[in-house]
Chain A
Amino acid sequence: DGGITQSPKYLFRKEGQNVTLSCEQNLNHDAMYWYRQDPGQGLRLIYYSQIVNDFQKGDIAEGYSVSREKKESFPLTVTSAQKNPTAFYLCASSTSTGMSYGYTFGSGTRLTVV
């Protein structure tokens, strides 16, 4: 069955270290997204990509970087410039950006920086 795989589910890192969160999909979806969730708050868009080798900043891109070298993969790097990286991170993908589309969601990665 097709879907999105996020790994790992839980991740611990020391302050000041960069960390990369994995997101892989086998749905042949064009668009992929990264969201961040803080306790008690809604999800916010970090970055999104509509096609390979292209991506755009979302609402809270500072301190994060992404790449889209393959259609299947959209890794998110949380850099040391991100002041408060401890959060829940959700990856999603969707079909074309037209009027009719469907989203699929990963199960998320919970990052804790100590």
Chain B
Amino acid sequence: KNEVEQSPQNLTAQEGEFITINCSYSVGISALHWLQQHPGGGIVSLFMLSSGKKKHGRLIATINIQEKHSSLHITASHPRDSAVYICAVGAHSNYQLIWGAGTKLIIKP
């Protein structure tokens, strides 16, 4: 079992829908990262969380340390949100990142 699990693996939705992507982890962490990767493009860091909730525009990230779970929400989704969303955690045991496999999101107009 991977130490960082993302769900769903693939998600297709209509423009305007509320999107939720989940990340569960099994190790003690000091921080969790959400990143975005557009097809054929580079990686953009969206959020770094160690507790609570952060919001940036239409993106909201939450983390529950006790349940070892984080969610990334997109409100009023748009086709330009189509990308792979990646969760990565920094473990307590060492400083290295453990990466999720990513969630491929497609927003149809």
* Chain A residues in the interface with B (C-beta under 8 A): 6, 9, 31, 33, 35, 41-45, 48, 90, 92, 94, 97-108, 110
Contact = CB atoms under 8 A, between A and B. Distances in A.
Contact of A45 (B44, B86, B96, B101): B96
* Interface of chain B, main secondary structure: strand
Given A99-B30, A101-B30, A108-B42, A42 B100 contact: yes
Given A9-B42, A43-B86, 15 more contacts: A33-B96, A42-B86, A42-B101, A42-B102, A43-B99, A99-B30, A100-B30, A101-B90, A101-B95, A102-B31, A103-B45, A103-B90, A105-B45, A107-B43, A108-B42
11 contacts: A31-B95, A33-B96, A42-B99, A42-B101, A45-B96, A101-B31, A103-B48, A103-B90, A105-B43, A106-B43, A107-B42
Interface string B40-77: 10111100100000000000000000000000000000
Contacts, number: 54
A110 B88 CA distance: 20
B48 A102 contact: yes
Contacts of A31: 95
A44 B86 CA distance: 13
B45 A104 contact: yes
Interface residues of B, number: 22
B107 to A, nearest CB: 19
Interface of B: 30-31, 33, 35, 40, 42-45, 48, 86, 88, 90, 92, 94-97, 99-102
- Pairs of residues from A and B, 10 with the lowest C-beta to C-beta distance, nearest first: A107-B42, A97-B95, A108-B42, A42-B101, A42-B99, A43-B99, A105-B45, A108-B43, A105-B43, A99-B30
